[in-house]
Amino acid sequence: MSTPQRVLLIITGGIAAYKSLDLIRRLREQGVAVRCVLTEGATQFVTPLSVAALSEEKVYQDLFSLTDEAEMGHIRLSREADLLVVAPCTANMMAKMAAGLADDLASTVLLATDKPVLIAPAMNLYMWASPATQANLATLQSRGIRVVGPGSGVLACGEVGAGRMSDVPDLVQAILAALRPVEKPLAGKTALVTSGPTHEPIDPVRYIANRSSGKQGHAIAAALADLGADVTLVSGPVTLPDPAGVRVVRVESARDMLAACQAALPASGLLDVAVCAAAVADWGVDVAPQKLKKQDGAAPPAIALRPNPDILATLSAAGPQRPRLVVGFAAETESVIDHAVAKRARKGCDWICANDVSSATGTFGGDRNTVHLISADGVESWPDLPKTDVATRLARRIAETLISP
């Protein structure tokens, strides 16, 4: 009889901890052994007795337990699990993990582990939207930590928004997927991804730009790498950490980005997929050699715009170096699908991912996206999803297409 896979479930101090009791039960129904660590805050919401009864395992709480630490318990706990799951994962625990703190048993186990980690964030919507939390999230994702949720809805505090811990069935599905042997359907395939905005200089001081954060493009690069692809990410100016396992080329302008993309094309053989997710400026400027000065009483200086090179159309053009699959993005503010369908025909790419970036959606700079995948087969509208989930879904679709007969 094979040994069951083991999850070390770390429960932190949030009202969503009650869901962890059901999570334990459902995982055990799937044949997964569950061992639990409770933070001090978690014991305010669930009892060690209830957790022990459901898991049928000893519950661990104290970093300085003489019995457990005589055997270096925090090391043993982290190494004997196949997967570490933090559910719920509070803003405080995310901050500890990002900073590498180890001031209790839970954070020490997480720092000492060599196993994969999955977190299910749960907190107030303003805590989730805080720049500090979002920076911690980006740091954790760049280290390969899987993130599930949070969802949106009515929170325990009575406010409405993002911050609810994912539902237990969704968590079980994600945990089982993380426990399965890692599939690398894109092993041996090459991918090029563009991400972020471009900065088009006006003079040595000023530039034209847009509000793209690069979150979607960086997530796509990471998702393709997770599936085994050899990924080159050409990124405009962003504040995001580099995705793990990805070769990153940093550029400023659209002309720089095109040159980097062309340099990334294989000298022999074909690039398998190019995903143009960057929000490239349509126009550049004839750059002034010195800072343009404001003159009292004088009219503002004229800024002459010139068309920028079209990276998507260039990569889509028929020729010996055309990637097997070219995917573009259409950031629109109205008539989203109509404009995207026309853009796909005009550019000659295979797929277009259309999204609404009008200010009310919060797509630019936000963490969620609503995408319509447009191909020769028609329009497939996806639900509102975290950008990481959009990336995973797109990467899987790319893999299915590239490996199909």
Number of helices followed by number of strands (H, E) in the chain: 14, 22
Known binding residue 310? Answer is: yes
Neighbours of 63 (CB within 10 A): 18
For the stretch 259-264, contacts whose Cβ atoms lie closer than 8 Å and that sit 24 or more positions apart, written own/partner, are: 260/234, 261/192, 261/194, 261/234, 261/311, 261/314, 261/315, 262/314, 264/192, 264/232, 264/234
β partners of residue 369: 385
Distance, C-alpha 307 to centroid of its chain = 32
The pair phi, psi for residue 100, each rounded to 5°, is 75, 30
387 is in an annotated binding site: no
Is position 364 annotated in a ligand binding site? Answer: no
First CA to last CA across the chain, in angstroms? 38
From 157, 276, 349, 353, the catalytic residue? 157
Neighbours of 221 (CB within 10 A): 33
Would the annotation count 294 as a binding residue?
no
| Cross-strand partners of 66 | none
Q: Is 343 annotated as a binding residue?
A: yes
* 349 flagged as catalytic: no
Distance of CA 230 to the CA centre of its chain: 18
Which runs of consecutive H residues, i.e. helices, occur in 265-304? none
Confirm whether residue 83 is marked as ligand binding: no
Residue 347 counted as an annotated binding residue: yes
Give one DSSP letter per residue of 174-202, joined into a string. HHHHHHSPPP-TTTT-EEEEEESB--EES
Q: Return the H-helix or E-strand segment holding 135.
A: helix 131-142
CA distance 11 to 110: 12
Residues of each annotated binding site for CTP? 282, 291, 309-312, 329, 343, 347
Active site residues: 157
Residues of each annotated binding site? 282, 291, 309-312, 329, 343, 347
